[in-house]
Amino acid sequence: MADAPGEGVKVRVIEYREGPFVDREKEEEFLLDRFKHRPEKLLFIYGPKSSGKTTLMEYLVENVLKKDKSLYVNYVNFRGYAIVNYDSFLDVYFQPIEDENKPFIEKALEYLPISIGRFGGNVSLPIKGIQFGLNIELYDRLVEKKIDPFNLLLEILKKIRKKQMPILILDEVQILEGIYMNGEVKRRHLLTEFFNFLVRLTKETHLAHVVVMTSETLFLEKIYNHSKLAETSDFYLIGHLDFKQVQEWLKYEGIEDKEIVNLIWEYVGGSAHRINDAIRIVKKGDSLEHYLLDEAKIYRGKLSHFIAEMLEELDEKRMFKGILEEMLKQGFVVRDNENNLQRRVMNKAIEHEFLFLNPREERIVFNSRIVRKGAELLIEG
Ligand SMILES: Nc1ncnc2c1ncn2[C@@H]1O[C@H](COP(=O)(O)OP(=O)(O)O)[C@@H](O)[C@H]1O
Ligand SMILES: [Mg+2]
């Protein structure tokens, strides 16, 4: 691979969470540079599932952002909460300062006096986690829907901004889809209000940096095509690792045999957790070929199951096989917007994470190389 692009460029490999963390220097630089400037737009980070979005962000939060006293970081992964309704959403960000946790909070923090309209109260910054503490009266008004949580958050962030630049990071935000704000005569979508608020924070008031992360690209596509949000947002792809990065990672693990490196790349490409598994197999001395073929067979099985159970009629099943054939031949497919059947089938395959849609590109590709290998087994036998 002497002519491989990027040859000669050093790939960073460091220890993080007792394992190797490969590269992402370019992405890190992009993000840190962005945080140095005045907030202007929302940032959407997207990419195929397991490409390493969460890991990169958590690495940055722990090792860089939280260490910088000029920044206030509020990172929430909505996957970690059971958000079933509006009240459980409020619980993510707010908690009452009750008598039993009062000394704890008082010891740790100054209060921020807050007033919104005719309501006033005290708020404490989160001690651990991300929940702001509210004095009981304020908290009650919030849960009684007398106060808009976004107005409250805005006031809190204004106070914080006097000393620190707030950075809000929201992972797996699509989980909020389908939740309504209650206590309203007219039902409002929580996510719509949330995004309006995030636009206010960035484009309108420049109060905070906002990073929104998601693996669900059909969800992202809706945002990308939503005129207001598209105009007020930037979109940044974090994809799987490339060949050079994988090669350097394997080298770091003492794996330099070309055949082994190529075999791993051929089957799992730059999908980090699969590479981890392959490394384990090599180190154990088990048959890598056997293991990778088994993994591909699992994907063949998943694809068969998808065809059997998720695709409705014979025409959908045939269409999907046709799509796979085209993918294997040219590496990608393009959606035909006038073909409803094709669009429906592709969307299902994207939803089930066999295919990856980048809203900024026409080409739809396999979500990862192991899916391609499974498709090969299915189509070519
Ligand atoms: N740069 C990297 N180097 C090594 N391993 C990584 C890297 N990024 C992610 N991983 C590993 O890959 C797996 C999936 O990463 P994750 O961050 O959860 O992906 P995403 O959030 O994009 O779905 C995790 O087990 C993680 O440890
Ligand atoms: Mg993630």
pLDDT tens-digit readout, 219-243: 999 988 887 888 999 999 999 999 9
Task: State mean pLDDT over 289-315.
Answer: 97
> Which single residue is written with the structure tokens 């957790």?
273
Q: Where do you find CATH 1.10.10 in the chain?
A: 301-381
Supply the pTM of this predicted model: 0.92
Q: Which of 8-12, 174-178, 240-244 has the lowest mean pLDDT?
A: 8-12
Ligand of minimum distance to the alpha carbon of 170: 2
- CA-nearest residue for atom 6, ligand 1, is 272
pLDDT tier, 188 (very low <50, low <70, confident <90, very high otherwise) = confident
Share of the chain above pLDDT 70, in %: 93
Predicted confidence band of residue 121 (pLDDT cuts 50, 70, 90): confident
Res 102: pLDDT? 64
Q: Which residues sit with their C-beta closer than 6 Å to ligand 1?
A: 20-24, 47, 49-55, 215, 272-273
> Pocket of ligand 1, candidates 50, 55, 78, 358: which has the most ligand atoms within 8 Å of its Cβ, to mutate?
55
pLDDT at 105: 59
Q: How far is CA 286 from the centre of its chain?
A: 34
215 Cα: distance to centroid of ligand 2 (angstroms): 7
Task: Give the residue, 26 or 135, on which the prediction is more confident.
Answer: 26
Q: Which of 9, 58, 23 is nearest to 249 (CA)?
A: 23
Residue 5 has pLDDT above 90, yes or no: no
What is the average pLDDT value for the chain, to the nearest integer? 91
Contact 143/149 with Cβ under 8 angstroms? no
Strands, DSSP E only, in 83-148?
A: 94-97, 111-116, 119-124, 132-135
Please list the residue range(s) of the chain that carry CATH number 3.40.50. Answer: 38-237
CATH 1.10.10 fits 301-381, yes or no: yes
CB count within 10 Å of CB 108 equals 13
Ligand 1 centroid distance, CA of 53 (Å): 7
Residue 192 C-alpha to ligand 1 middle, in angstroms? 29
Ligand 2 ion: nearby residues, β-carbon < 5 Å: 53-54
Residues 6+ apart with CB under 8 A from 78: 92, 170, 171, 172, 173, 175, 176
Measure the CA–CA gap between 174 and 304, rounded to whole angstroms: 28
CA distance linking residue 352 with residue 346, whole number of Å: 10
If one counts every other C-beta atom within 10 angstroms of the C-beta of residue 300, the result is 19
Task: Report the 10 Å Cβ neighbour count for 274.
Answer: 20
Element of type H or E holding 174: none
pLDDT of residue 7: 55
Helices 258-268 & 243-252 angle (0-180, nearest 10): 130
CATH of 38-237, one of 2.60.40, 2.30.29, 3.40.50, 3.10.450: 3.40.50
